[in-house]
A and B are shown apart, each in its own frame.
Chain A
Amino acid sequence: MNDTWTERLSEYIDGTLPDAERAALEAHLAGCTACRTTLDELRRVVARARALDDRPPAADLWPAIAEQIGVSSGAHHVVSLAERRTRRVTFTVPQLAAAAAVLLLLGSGGAYLALRRPPVEGGGAIAQRGPAADLTTSPVGWVQKTSSRYDAAVAELQSALEQGRASGRLDSATVRVLTQSLVTIDSAIVQARRALAADPGSAYLNQHLADTMRRKLELLRRASALAPART
């Protein structure tokens, strides 16, 4: 892979490359399968990031979770819709992979909060804000450094789930099913982590791990929201 051009793919996607460089990159892409593949993957990541639903999170627990995973849920600076729409997303390749993992992990609720954080002075990229701020070296680094926050969020939700069970708001059969489902997801996470440790550069494994972790949070959120159903 040509490192020079790989670093310029983000600008190419954003349409900010000067005409001459754009033409040169397109010529390079025509003959470089690896760069075309990387470009396709980056486009998918950007498309997913842009397609994230902007609705507020449904569960009341989410502000606490957001706090746990390092996304402020306090008095947000509300960015206007127009401002958010025109915000340019500029990444290096590792940043983009990390940002994809963050966005996939946070899901719609987290993205909603993250997009409302005040911009960091001098920082234009999402990857330079929030939990990924110092994690531009590799997606694996992001996963490792985010683990404690993620674990805390999971613990918070599992505690809420246990309270729902203890108070009788969730019956034991439902808790059993939810627990079994969490075991299933945890098993998938362990497998994905092992695979990623062996192949840290894999975009697929990074996305897959982040997606599976997001699913665990999402399941816990849904389960916690179920607790009031019987009241």
Chain B
Amino acid sequence: MLLNIAAVITLAVTQQTDTTVPVRPGMRLDVDNFGGEVVVKAWNQNSVRVQATHSSRDRIDVEVGASTVSVKAESRRGIAQMVEYQISAPAWMNLNLHGVSTDIEVDGAQGAVTAETVNGEVKCRGGSGQVSLKSVQGAVRLQNAKGHVDVYSVSEGLTLENVSGDISAETVSGDISLEGIESASVEVSTVSGDVTYEGSIKDGAHYRFATHNGDVTVGIPERTNVTVSVATFNGDFDSSFPVSVTNTTKHRFSFTLGSGSGRLELETFNGDIRLRRPGQLHDKHHDDQEDH
């Protein structure tokens, strides 16, 4: 009975907004939300459709400027508290999405993407050029993107799949997993969490994977030309293929694979560093055997 009453009250105060505005190539979509969700899906029309579920006290403003489409909610009582956005936008459109207690999801973008929230997850499929995804309390996941990628979280993990371009990924507490990466510059660090990388190791390129508490596992393709620097204060190093260590200091050593033209830095204060061939990266059996 109580549930029924609650449902009736909810229906009574919830409102739907559905607005479509035309856009021109080069325009950017700005969305600002406090609580709820922002979902942006690409479509093949030169218009932006905004569907929003919100309180009847709130009003959704969709402003079309010379170079931007701005979407935000306003309330007679200050900030609109909860709005669920479902937005369709041209794939070419650059996206600038901000939230506080908001989950953000992007699907099919082909332009630049900025997505930042305080409390919520960020998921992005697609994106090119500048791709910047940040959350304080939420995991960040990026797939099928290319360009200059900057991914950040404070308390959750980061996952990147099929991403190409310069990559920077940083969290405080959480694992960082990168798979299917094509990059000549990768900088990855976490304080407490594991780091896993599977992707290209290119000639002349630079890769750095660092953690304080956690393991670092990197897939090294055959015929890779890279100079590897390994540093660990309290941990072991293990490679599934032979390496010949040349330079050794107390906490760091290095070795060269092939011509050594690329540079790979692997660092963990408390944890192990493992090199694997790409196919062995998720071979738990192999790692378990190593641990015993």
Contact = CB atoms under 8 A, between A and B. Distances in A.
B246 A192 contact: no
B249 A37 contact: yes
B43 interface: no
B119 A199 contact: no
Interface stretch (B62-70, B218-226, B250-258): B250-258
A225 B212 CA distance: 25
Interface string B211-251: 01100000000000001010101000000000000111111
Contact of A188 (B98, B155, B191): B191
Interface residues of A, number: 35
A206 to B, nearest CB: 11
B192 interface: yes
B173 interface: yes
A205 B247 contact: no
Interface string B137-149: 1000000000000
B118 interface: yes
Contacts of B247: 33, 36-37, 40
A192 B172 contact: no
Contacts of B176: none
A147 to B, nearest CB: 19
A202 B119 CA distance: 39
Contact of A230 (B79, B172, B270): B79
A185 interface: yes
A77 to B, nearest CB: 31
Nearest to A215: B191
B104 interface: no
B137 A177 contact: yes
Contacts of A229: 98, 100, 118
A173 to B, nearest CB: 7
B267 interface: yes
Contact of B136 (A174, A188, A204): A174
B172 A203 contact: no
A42 to B, nearest CB: 13
A195 interface: yes
Chain B interface residue number, banded: 35 or more
B154 interface: yes
Contacts of A211: 189, 210
Contacts of B79: 230
Interface string B189-221: 101100000000000000000101100000000
A195 B246 CA distance: 24
Contacts of A44: 229, 265
B100 A188 contact: no
B267 A208 contact: yes
* Residue from B212, B248, B270 whose CB has the most chain A CB atoms within 10 Å: B212
Contacts of B172: 181, 184-185, 215, 219
A202 B192 CA distance: 22
B254 A40 contact: yes
B233 A205 contact: yes
A177 B155 contact: yes
B34 interface: yes
Contacts of B100: 229-230
Nearest to A35: B247
19 contacts: A36-B247, A40-B229, A174-B119, A177-B154, A178-B136, A181-B154, A181-B172, A181-B173, A185-B172, A188-B212, A195-B269, A202-B250, A204-B251, A204-B252, A205-B251, A208-B267, A212-B212, A219-B172, A223-B136
Given A208-B269, A212-B191, 15 more contacts: A40-B254, A174-B119, A177-B137, A178-B154, A184-B173, A184-B192, A191-B270, A204-B251, A208-B212, A208-B231, A208-B233, A211-B189, A229-B118, A230-B34, A230-B79
